[in-house]
Structure 1
Amino acid sequence: MRMNATGSDAERLVMEDLVNALLAEQFFLGLPDAELLSPEAWLATAPCRPVLQALRDCLGASLDQAYVFHWNCGEEVEGTIVFPLEPAIVQPYRFKAELGLYEASLDERHHVMLQKLGPKELMVRLRERYESQPGIIDPASLEQFLHMLEGTLLQTSWSLENELPEQVLSAPSSTAFLQAEKKAAFRDRPFHPVSKVKLGWGKDECRSYTVEYGGQITLHWMAVHRERLICGQPQAAAPMTLLLSEKERNPILEEMNEKGLDPESFVLLPVHPWQMENVLPGHLAKEIKEGICIPLRAQAGAFSATSSVRSLLPADAGSHHVKLPLGIRSLGGLRYLSAVKLMNGQRAEQLLRKAVEGDDVLNKRLFLCDETNWWAYLPENRDLFADSPRHLSALVRQYPAAWMEDPNIRLVPMSALAVCGRGEAGHLFDEWLALIGERRSESAIHQLLREVIQPFFDVCVRLFARGMMPEVHGQNAVLVWREGKIIGLLLRDHDSLRVHVPWLLGNGLEDPKYTLRPGVPESLYHQTPESLLSFFQMLGIHVNSYAIIECLSRHYGLGEDKLWQTLQECLEAAVSQATLAEEVQAVLQQELFGKATWPWKQIIRPLLKHHAKVPSSMPYGKGEAPNPFHAKARVFT
């Protein structure tokens, strides 16, 4: 199915995410000469004010029940920005980009004209408004953000030129996982207005290295002196053995022999082809000259990108995948793969496995990728926080081999459920219903939502009760689907497992003793359980679950309030059915259902502030949003 998209479709998607993020992070709140008109005030006021009447003439009856935001950022008429909103659940109001955001101007006859603004134009207007408050918008950071917006618009339009997979669950087992990853990539990180951009890549790189295009990537190889490596399992097989067949290994071994490289002294690390050509020659120039790191000519190993870009899936659908660093900037951070992240991920996995052992439900429902086979280059002084180790490393991620060989099992990232195309087979639920012989109906959609959300919430609540919370956005949480049923949840990318140590110790578990960069803020350790739970609220519900709800609402024409009700019932069941300590029960009840507000993950404000030039993961801040279980009653009654 082709998305049938154009550049304007890309702009609509980006604009909607941008304006809603700005609204949620309260960029428009408190602006002078700004007001939000209720539907009644709008109908009464519009005929008396030229700008509002012009908008009414432009959009007609579609505004009759809308709230209208009106911001006079210039002269009485010229420079006025106006756009319609609707009450929402996850935030007080949301913007629908199909209605547009407009700026007023006067023509030669002094008639009011409306120009639809795009994402970059809107940010320029905000810059002008906040120039007197440099602590909110740093000029250099805004220029970078505008560059990211420009790249996002381009790369989103390129992405939408490709085919959206029609089959995932009914695809052959050898291609189903790749199809699911491809589907997930079309939405990328939901609600993040610049998530799509990969700074440093143009169309050729996107065509070669992103999953939407469906091309294959052949691994490059670097021989690295063994003494300069740190690894997760010193006695484990080498990465080449895990990733390549004997036939694929032969040309590499022949070149090693030609160069006189002793296999006992050198380890062969896979390298992403773009990284080998564009990053490592500069970062490791001295090591390459001295023969510590030796790039090989031989290339071997056919892989495909996933929605994560730097995680690659084998063309033969085997169980060993590989994650490699990329020196590109995405989500506000470099996509490197540091030794520290790999070490912390291994410690987090050990902790998760101990938690699973001690809980019968987790033992049946939660599965983990093995992420203990990794290698990372270190400089001579063994500095874990130096720049070079981030750019030469490899993680061989092993999925349960029995699942990869089972023709009845499909692995589906939850993010694939946040994507739909046009037509009858646009959402994965359509395919699922067809396979189980169910007619498409509102009740059937709600039942499938329960099938997806209930095991997800069961796992998250039980892990929280033990003092830990994985980073459960839709890319990391993978559903295990077999013959029409979700039989479990598979987690990957363990390096962001957050913990509250007192609860770990109270459950007979231990502090994972993460290695942390001195003097740099981190979010792995949480002093309170409420702070730990906030990452489930922000990532597990606001990002992951709501992305699914929004997509289902759009595709099937269902009310968001009813979908939220189903979600609430699943969460209440997860809390009530788990055997929880009194303190855990009290925190969950108060934070999830009692409080009027929830934490909100800010993504725009951190990107627009001055920040240290230390490569890091995606910058974020915390704000507040309405409790969605309170707001759905407020909005729809």
Structure 2
Amino acid sequence: MNPQTNNISAAEAVAHLQPDTWLKVNRLHVRKIIAEFAHELLITPVLQATTAGWGHYTLSPAAGIDYSFRAQLLSLDHWHIDTASIEKTVNGAAVPLDAVHFITEFSEQLGFDPVLLPTYLEEIISTLYGSAYMHTYNTTTATELTAADYQDIEHAMMAGHPCFVANNGRIGYDTVDYRKYAPEAATPFPVIWLAGHKSRTVFTGIDTLQYEEVLQQELDTDTITSFHGMLKEKGLQPEDYYLMPTHPWQWYNKLASIFSPDIAANNLVCLGYGKDAYLPQQSVRTLFNVTTPGRFYVKSALSILNMGFMRGLSPYYMRTTPGINEWVAGIIEGDAYLQQKGFMMLKEAATMGYTNHYFETAIKGESAYKKMLATLWRESPVGKLQAGQRLMTMAALLHVDAHGEAMLPALIRASGLDITSWLQQYMDCYLSPLLHCFYYYDLRFMPHGENVILILENNVPVKAIMKDIAEEVAVVNSELDLPENVRRIVIPVPEELKILSIFTQIFDCFFRFVSHVLVEHADYPEEQFWALAAECIQRYQQLHPELEEKFKRTDLFADEIVKTCLNRLQIRNNQRMIEPNNPFKSQQFAGTFKNPLAAFKHRQVAVV
């Protein structure tokens, strides 16, 4: 099977770009741009009047250009905008909403570097292209998704990262690649297997896993024999090589040309496609094995620009990844509280990294050219299920389908629980373990929707699984004595900013959107939502009085919390937003939030 032959016609590549659909996705995206840019104080809507709990606002980027809309300002400076109310006029005449025009009209106010602006605009246009595709072809309803399987839900997701405005750029994919490799296209494809000479390639596994075991799990005996036979036909010795999978796009677009000296010297040998089919996940470069779901995920370097980074993988980071995963897993599996909550992680159990000597010699610092050929194997969540359980990406809690129906209220209705009871169970299995990891172990994850898998019973969350560990996990205490192979995850954080590990990652980047979905689609009071979050935190704190000093130093009930701004990061540098080993050095701040938890600071809750 060769996906390179499955080309689409020139007309099919743009069949979803119809006038009505384009107007629809632009309206939705302008809504998001206004909401997130106003949230980060990049733009300032002007209140004109208030009617029945809604404010009527205007924006005027230039003389003669005016936007108007009605909105409610929710907690955490979150803008709940009535989509249908947004209007634009130019010299008094109504014109269609256009997300790209909006960015260009405000580009000076937003502080764009003229050199970076075109790439940002390309990402916005590409995001709109994908949105039009999804609104055309992803017609499964939110209600239907409440009974769907793990991968069907994964590929139905439409929104991307809730905070970032340019969040589905995938610069590097052409329109044919999009149909083959975008997660929403849901087209299974095989991976290409390469043989890397051991003089250039490093395999690293967790202590209990050897290279031969990975190979025997991921490939059947006939395929291994065939691949080894290809090496022998070239006069090469199989024992001198490691076999590794890579994304087909990476092979055809980067490796086959840029690594041609290595290929000519037989340091890198293409063995062809494997038998198993994979589906791309929301993170694009992570692939789920649909032929044999119990086998590992494959995550490989993919040199496309997406949401502020070139999505390569460092061969050097790969060498410490399994050790970091073992260390984190040891904490999770050895902690009674986390085990009681059912908290789990997917281990990145083995890695492979190939170094290109030309670029290693020529470039002393960090570079995307040094991150083009690496792979990691991550555990599948399928084996963690018990009878009556199923998996769902946590991103589904924010999903609104092409028909305007939100999945979260539909999921709660299908569970038979009331909203409050459902949310209590969700927070207990998701928020409680993250609080414990942070306060007890100074351990911070990146627990946004795409990085968390929920285990459901009767459509109710009962366990949470963290993934994407080694690239996202961090220890926020530089004084801890850690093993040498774990030291790279220690990040320097000023004491007053440690709170952002919880507040930004969970509350601002996820909970404010969950609350909005419930306000808009279920008429659930946001005050009640934040009361439940406060109750969850207080219950944890009462269970752990020995951590009282830490609770005071990192006070989640403080009146105000500094506001971290993600779009400001991407606008400043859409090629490389932050330094991974010191993300707080790059952070962009804009004032403070009024903390919705502060109202519940002195409340006592029952410990159950």
TM-score (norm 2): 0.84
- Do the aligned residues in 2 keep the contact of 1:468 with 1:532 (CA within 8 Å)? no
* Equivalent residue number for residue 561 of structure 2: 597
- Work out which of the residue numbers 318, 321, 326 in structure 1 matches 2:297: 321
- Work out which of the residue numbers 188, 208, 214 in structure 1 matches 2:160: 188
Q: How does 1:264-413 map to 2 (within 5 A)?
A: 264-315=239-290, 316-364=292-340, 365-380=342-357, 385=366, 387-399=368-380, 402-403=383-384, 406-413=386-393
Counterparts of 2:253 and 2:425, CA distance in 1? 45
Deviates more, 1:118-127 or 1:336-345: 336-345
* Equivalent residue number for residue 594 of structure 2: 627
Counterparts of 1:332 and 1:491, CA distance in 2? 22
Counterparts of 1:429 and 1:85, CA distance in 2? 22
* Equivalent residue number for residue 220 of structure 1: 192
TM-score (norm 1): 0.80
1:575: how far off?
3.0
Percent identity at matched positions?
17
- Work out which of the residue numbers 64, 67, 89 in structure 2 matches 1:103: 89
Counterparts of 2:448 and 2:88, CA distance in 1? 33
Gaps of 5+ in 1: 30-34, 41-61, 106-111, 131-135, 517-523
1:559: how far off?
3.1
- Work out which of the residue numbers 57, 62, 68 in structure 1 matches 2:57: 68
1:613: how far off?
6.9
Q: How does 1:100-499 map to 2 (within 5 A)?
A: 100-105=86-91, 112-128=92-108, 136-163=111-138, 164=140, 167=144, 170-171=147-148, 176-183=149-156, 185-233=157-205, 235-237=210-212, 239-315=214-290, 316-364=292-340, 365-380=342-357, 385=366, 387-399=368-380, 402-403=383-384, 406-421=386-401, 427=407, 430-431=410-411, 433-434=413-414, 436=415, 438=416, 444-465=418-439, 466-483=441-458, 485-495=460-470, 496-499=472-475
1:15: how far off?
1.4
- Work out which of the residue numbers 27, 41, 51 in structure 1 matches 2:42: 27
- Do the aligned residues in 1 keep the contact of 2:247 with 2:300 (CA within 8 Å)? yes
1:548: how far off?
2.5
1:222: how far off?
1.1
What amino acid does structure 1 have at the position aligned with 2:49? P
Distance 1:544 1:319, change over 3 A: farther
Counterparts of 1:71 and 1:614, CA distance in 2? 29
The CA deviation string for residues 577-600 of structure 1, in whole angstroms up to 9 with x for no partner, is 344422212134x3x212323432
- Do the aligned residues in 2 keep the contact of 1:63 with 1:84 (CA within 8 Å)? no
1:99: how far off?
1.6
Find the residue that maps to 1:276 and give its secondary structure: helix
- Do the aligned residues in 2 keep the contact of 1:89 with 1:631 (CA within 8 Å)? no
What is the alpha-carbon root mean square deviation over aligned residues? 3.3
Distance 1:328 1:576, change over 3 A: same
Q: How does 1:530-541 map to 2 (within 5 A)?
A: 530-541=496-507
The CA deviation string for residues 289-329 of structure 1, in whole angstroms up to 9 with x for no partner, is 22111122344321111111111111132141111111111
Find the residue that maps to 1:391 and give its secondary structure: coil
1:66: how far off?
1.9
Deviates more, 1:609-618 or 1:212-221: 609-618
1:38: how far off?
4.8
Mapped pair 1:559 → 2:513: no
Find the residue that maps to 1:376 and give its secondary structure: strand
Residues matched between the structures, number: 566
Mapped pair 1:607 → 2:575: no
The CA deviation string for residues 395-454 of structure 1, in whole angstroms up to 9 with x for no partner, is 1111356425x45221222112111337798525535643x5x2xxxx712221221122
Distance 1:583 1:490, change over 3 A: same
Deviates more, 1:10-19 or 1:385-394: 385-394
The CA deviation string for residues 496-531 of structure 1, in whole angstroms up to 9 with x for no partner, is 2121225745xxx65764449xxxxxxx51333442
Counterparts of 2:404 and 2:170, CA distance in 1? 32
* Equivalent residue number for residue 32 of structure 1: none
Counterparts of 1:596 and 1:266, CA distance in 2? 56
1:16: how far off?
1.9
1:169: how far off?
6.0
* Equivalent residue number for residue 50 of structure 1: none
Q: How does 1:46-57 map to 2 (within 5 A)?
A: none
Counterparts of 2:412 and 2:222, CA distance in 1? 39
1:82: how far off?
4.1
Deviates more, 1:337-346 or 1:319-328: 337-346
1:7: how far off?
2.1
* Equivalent residue number for residue 584 of structure 1: 550
Counterparts of 2:337 and 2:517, CA distance in 1? 30
Counterparts of 2:167 and 2:117, CA distance in 1? 16
Counterparts of 2:442 and 2:150, CA distance in 1? 31
* Equivalent residue number for residue 7 of structure 1: 22
Distance 1:240 1:96, change over 3 A: farther
Gaps of 5+ in 2: 1-15, 601-608
What amino acid does structure 2 have at the position aligned with 1:419? H
Counterparts of 1:432 and 1:64, CA distance in 2? 27
Find the residue that maps to 1:114 and give its secondary structure: strand
- Do the aligned residues in 1 keep the contact of 2:310 with 2:368 (CA within 8 Å)? no
Find the residue that maps to 1:570 and give its secondary structure: helix
1:455: how far off?
1.8
